[in-house]
Amino acid sequence: MTDPSLHSLDDLRSERRLLVEHVANLSWLRRLVVARSDLEVARMTGLAEGVDRLEPVVREALELGTVAGPELLQALSRTSRTLHDESDVARSRLDAVTDALVAQLAVDPTRCLAG
């Protein structure tokens, strides 16, 4: 990414919207990976035995086939770390774009109302 302060106000607003969506998507994906990891741990340790008390549709949704074991947990852990790192980078970019946007708007606050 080039220096955010060199972008137009509209470009900064557009880039910021895209980065907000990207950060939210990465966060959502990471939550899914962590939840899947939690399900696998519960199944491996026997904690998932209480699912018979859940509504049938929920119980069926939680049934994921045979226990996949340590290999799956390792892959899920790597994926979670990767998504976390990508999220950190995206948040840093979002912070830089937000700072550049605020700096431009501080010069002329009436531009806050534009667009």
- What is the phi/psi pair of residue 34, to 5°? -65, -40
Per-residue pLDDT band for 6 (boundaries 50, 70, 90) equals low
Percent share of the chain, pLDDT over 70? 88
Interacting residues of 104 by C-beta distance below 8 A, sequence separation 6+: 5, 9, 12, 111
pLDDT mean over 65-82: 88
pLDDT tens-digit readout, 30-53: 999 999 998 888 888 877 777 778
pLDDT mean over 3-23: 88
pLDDT mean over 94-101: 95
